[in-house]
Copies of this chain bind each other. A is one copy, B any other.
Amino acid sequence: MDLFHALSDEDGKFSGLEKKLAQLVLDDVDFAVNSSILDLAERAGVSPPTVTRFCRRLGCQGYSDFKVQLAKMTYVGLRYLKPETPTATPAEVAEDIVTKAQNALFQLHRQLDIDVLDKAAHLLRGAEFIQAFGASGNSAMIVNELHNRLFRLGCRINASNDHNMNMMLSAAAGPGTVVFGSSFTGRDQGLVHCLELARQRVIPTIVITQSNSPVARAADVVIAIDLPEGKNIFRPTSTRYAYLAAIDILANLVAYADRSRALKALRSIKEELVSRRDGDDRQLLGD
Contact = CB atoms under 8 A, between A and B. Distances in A.
A6 interface: no
Contacts of A29: 80
Given A90-B117, A90-B118, A77 B77 contact: no
A256 B85 CA distance: 13
Given A106-B102, A137-B148, A236-B248, A253 B90 contact: yes
A95 interface: yes
A108 B94 CA distance: 10
Given A29-B80, A234-B252, A244-B244, A34 B65 contact: yes
Interface string A14-51: 00000000000000011001101000000000000000
A145 interface: yes
Interface of A: 2, 4, 29-30, 33-34, 36, 64-65, 67-69, 71-78, 80, 88, 90-91, 93-95, 97-98, 101-103, 105-106, 108-110, 112, 114-115, 117-118, 121, 134-141, 144-145, 148-149, 153, 182-185, 187-189, 229, 233-237, 240-241, 244-245, 248-249, 251-253, 255-256, 262, 266, 270, 277-278, 280, 282-287
